[in-house]
């Protein structure tokens, strides 16, 4: 037995993997127990977002509501140093998208970036973690193409009407990253008004992207099927 697998075995003995929803012990390699997985009924939203400045429309898919145990798992993922939850959220998005023709024509997966300060505080970008896992599941490359170069106020603290203005101009394409003519699957953690994804998609289109499909792990429900972001 190699050192790494021996050490993994010791860790698993003392800290067995647990279901991220109910905390029961699960077999190695599983994030969620069978009972919880059966109880999760995906909403599989496909929301048309309208960028009010340009009138351009984007589609954003989101498999699950930001509610109940999934909301708690997302909060653990983002704020309690549980980056391994990314695989579970990526699997949920992949289950929704696996029949989509977009996956067969997409060039790569990208994610909504964090500011440098937020990345330093959290230690990882949760959206990037989901995007990388999703890319692996879909057999696509992952590229970091966007950066957040302005520190703005936190979106969830703002009223809907202020969110679009708050994200305007805060994202840009990284120097030397070609997106022209590309079809991009753009990933975020939570879809609320769509302002953040809408702004990032607009930046990608302005840089010459051919097609952008947005995907979020969870959606704040009680929103209309077509939203102005």
Least distance (Å) from Zn ion to the CB of residue 132?
24
Q: Which is nearer to Zn ion, 6 or 22 (CB)?
A: 22
Please report how many Cα atoms fall inside a 13 Å half-sphere around the Cα of residue 70, on the Cβ side: 23
The answer to whether 199 and 170 have CB atoms below 8 angstroms apart is: yes
> By C-alpha distance, which of 188, 217, 219 is closest to 65?
219
In whole angstroms, how close is the CB of 30 to Zn ion at the nearest point? Answer: 10
CB of 20 to Zn ion, least distance (A): 8
Give the nearer residue to Zn ion in terms of CB position, either 34 or 162.
34
- The residues binding Zn ion (CB under 5 A) are 19, 21-22, 33, 36
Least Cβ distance, residue 11 to Zn ion (angstroms): 21
Nearest to Zn ion of 59, 65 (CB atom): 65
Closer residue to Zn ion in complex, CB, 71/122? 71
């Amino acid at each position: 037995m190699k050192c790494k697998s021996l050490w993994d075995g010791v860790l698993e003995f003392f800290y067995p993997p647990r279901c991220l929803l109910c905390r029961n012990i699960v077999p190695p390699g599983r994030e969620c127990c069978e009972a919880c997985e059966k109880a999760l009924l995906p909403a599989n939203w496909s929301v048309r977002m309208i960028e009010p400045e340009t009138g351009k429309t984007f589609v954003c898919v989101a498999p699950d509501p930001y509610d109940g145990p999934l909301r708690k798992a997302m909060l653990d993922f983002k704020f309690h140093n549980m980056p391994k939850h990314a695989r579970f959220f990526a699997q949920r998005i992949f289950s929704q998208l696996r029949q989509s023709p977009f996956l067969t024509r997409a060039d790569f997966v990208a994610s909504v970036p964090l500011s440098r300060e937020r990345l330093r505080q959290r230690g990882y970008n949760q959206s990037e973690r989901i995007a990388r896992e999703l890319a692996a599941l879909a057999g696509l490359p992952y590229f970091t193409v966007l950066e957040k170069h302005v520190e703005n106020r936190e979106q969830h603290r703002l009223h809907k009407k202020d969110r679009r203005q708050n994200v305007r101009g805060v994202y840009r394409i990284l120097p030397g990253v070609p997106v022209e003519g590309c079809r991009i699957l753009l990933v975020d953690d939570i879809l609320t008004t769509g302002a953040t994804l809408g702004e990032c998609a607009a930046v990608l289109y302005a840089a010459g992207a051919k097609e952008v499909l947005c995907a979020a792990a969870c959606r704040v429900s009680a929103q209309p099927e077509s939203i102005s972001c």
